[in-house]
Amino acid sequence: MRRVPALLVPTFALPAGAVSAVAPGTSAAHWSYLAAFAVLVALAWVRLRTLRGPTRSGYAFIVAALSVWLAGDLLFDALTWIIGDTDTVTPSDLLWLAGYPLLAAGLVRLTQLRAPGRLREGMLDGLVMATVMAWLCWQFVILPAAEHERLSLQIVVSAFYPFGDVLLFAATAILVLTPGTKRGPTPYLVGALALTLIGDVGISTLPELFPGLSETLQTDRLDGVLLLANSLLVAAVVHRDADRIADRVSREQRLHPARVVFLGIALVVLPTTAGLHTLETTLSRVSLVVSVVLMTTLVLVRFVFVVREQERIRAALAHQAGHDQLTGLANRPTLHSLLEHTLSGPRGDGPRGDGFGPVLFYLDLNGFKEVNDRYGHAAGDAVLVEFARRLEAALRPGDVAARLGGDEFVVLAGDVTGDQDARLLAERLRGLAAEPVRRGTDLYPIGVSVGLAAAGGLAQPDADALLAAADAAMYAEKSARLSRT
């Protein structure tokens, strides 16, 4: 089947919706609405069959929401034809209400796919805004409509519609506030949700604002708005880049100013409304307190997450600045600072009163260049990582290992009793390269030359002098090995 351009879908729905606006309540408006809606749902199902990948589940929820809304319209017509006009609750209400959580679930699923691990921030911000929206609906839509009315099934079901809109509002906020692409089908989804909210709010408030006009005619005019909203949802499903909505944004997104504005408005609305509007009933005052407590809790949780994320980033940056990126060992600046700190302390006669002091072991891998040249840099990196792992496993408490660069490593040992103890530790370090490095089925034989220098053996020990002495001892051992071969 040839793919339908996304823009053509709302273009097709616009004339059918216009009939409802021009001639509300007529058979032409009613049947053009139903026919267009049925075509849209069928088109969405056809497109859904061709979608592949994880995004298909998100779009499946959206198509299911459209389907249950259409089923609700058809069921309502059937009940009206059988039992006549009714103002009571019917099974069609259950279908219409079921569409809200299905649509919200689809939007959250798509948002989760395009921002894995980053949905939490957008969800918290969306819930803060939805809390304000829910209280406004409760205070100015639900309570006035239920005032002086006895609790009934009709009152309860009628209250669920505004909260369905709140659910969609929260899903829209999450979609907009969560990082991810804002192109492709995303504008269609946002536009559809905005029109759905406008249509639903209009249906709920127009009879209260214009009580002199026929309620049926007023609400029927908004059927075209809802049809156009549904066509935008279908346009998102049939969009050629529908499966790319989950693509991650490569560059880090900054905090958008609109996010701050929306959250600021949400924080101001409740106290401002409470100050300007008299809350006459206990239920109104309790609902305000509950909403404020809930919103404050969400803001505090969001603040805690932000602080912890900043702490995690700072810790990661600090570790990155002081450690080698490949092996995770300390890097040259960290080693230099540690040497200066160790040597600036009270050396005296050393840790055991023998004047030997801390010892620096300078290690250089033998055969590393051959591995790099023959097997490639990936093999060389594997050798460095494995040797660093062996080195860390062989360290004693208090010892520090560092990678200076290339295949050069250093071990700073503080608790060394004398020359014999230092040489035994050097032999232990040489033994780390006795076994070849295994990578898959390949074996890379290596060796290591070790030079050592003790701070007590230097006239004026400092970090650079100790490094130079250990380096010279290592090269002397390497030259002696080469001359023997």
Neighbours of 406 (CB within 10 A): 13
The predicted model gives 157-176 an average pLDDT of 79
- Active site amino acids: 407
The answer, yes or no, to whether residue 20 has pLDDT greater than 70, is yes
The band of 485, judged by pLDDT with boundaries at 50, 70 and 90, is: low
Q: Mean pLDDT, the chain, as a whole number?
A: 82
The pLDDT assigned to 348 comes to 41
Paired tokens of 184: 């492709």
Reduced to 3 states, what is the DSSP secondary structure of residue 163?
A: helix
The residue count of the chain comes to: 485
pLDDT greater at residue 473 or residue 354:
473
The band of 95, judged by pLDDT with boundaries at 50, 70 and 90, is: very high
pLDDT greater at residue 423 or residue 219:
423
The answer, yes or no, to whether residue 228 has pLDDT greater than 90, is yes
Reduced to 3 states, what is the DSSP secondary structure of residue 358?
A: coil
Q: How far is Cα 40 from Cα 55, in angstroms, rounded to an integer?
A: 20
The pLDDT assigned to 1 comes to 46
Helix and strand totals (H; E) in the chain: 17, 6
**What is 412-423 written as a DSSP string?**
EE----SHHHHH
From residue 341, how far is each of 152, 347, 358, 404, 466 by CA, in Å? 78, 11, 12, 18, 13
Dihedral over alpha carbons 282, 283, 284, 289 (to 10 degrees): 90
Residue 452: its H or E element: strand 447-454
The pLDDT assigned to 390 comes to 94
Nearest Cα neighbor of 155 from 71, 87, 208, 91 is 87
pLDDT greater at residue 66 or residue 275:
66
- Are 180 and 248 in contact by the 8 Å Cβ rule? The answer is yes
The pLDDT assigned to 211 comes to 56
From residue 27, how far is each of 20, 31, 80, 149 by CA, in Å? 10, 6, 14, 34
- Can you name the residues that pair with 364 across neighbouring β-strands? 408, 449
Kindly state the percentage of the chain with pLDDT values over 70.
85
The answer, yes or no, to whether residue 181 has pLDDT greater than 50, is yes
- Give the E-state strand segments of 354-441 in sequence order: 359-366, 400-405, 408-413, 437-439
Identify the residue whose tokens are 């030359």. 449
The answer, yes or no, to whether residue 197 has pLDDT greater than 70, is yes
Q: How far is Cα 255 from Cα 252, in angstroms, rounded to an integer?
A: 10
- Are 21 and 224 in contact by the 8 Å Cβ rule? The answer is yes
The band of 350, judged by pLDDT with boundaries at 50, 70 and 90, is: very low
Longest Cα separation, the chain:
109
**CA 204 from centre of chain:** 35
Neighbours of 375 (CB within 10 A): 15
The answer, yes or no, to whether residue 126 has pLDDT greater than 70, is yes
- Can you name the residues that pair with 400 across neighbouring β-strands? 412
Reduced to 3 states, what is the DSSP secondary structure of residue 443?
A: strand
The answer, yes or no, to whether residue 210 has pLDDT greater than 60, is no
Q: How far is Cα 36 from Cα 481, in angstroms, rounded to an integer?
A: 86
The answer, yes or no, to whether residue 357 has pLDDT greater than 80, is no
The answer, yes or no, to whether residue 214 has pLDDT greater than 80, is no
Residue 76: its H or E element: helix 55-83
0.85 exceeded by pTM: no
Kindly state the percentage of the chain with pLDDT values over 90.
32
Identify the residue whose tokens are 């946002």. 190
The predicted model gives 414-427 an average pLDDT of 87
pLDDT greater at residue 148 or residue 382:
382
The pLDDT assigned to 385 comes to 94
The pLDDT assigned to 317 comes to 85
Neighbours of 316 (CB within 10 A): 10
Taking only the tens place, the pLDDT of each residue in 431-472 is 999 899 988 888 999 999 999 998 888 877 888 899 999 999
The answer, yes or no, to whether residue 58 has pLDDT greater than 90, is yes
The band of 71, judged by pLDDT with boundaries at 50, 70 and 90, is: very high
Paired tokens of 247: 């693509």
Taking only the tens place, the pLDDT of each residue in 235-292 is 999 999 888 887 665 545 566 666 677 677 777 877 777 776 677 777 777 888 888 8
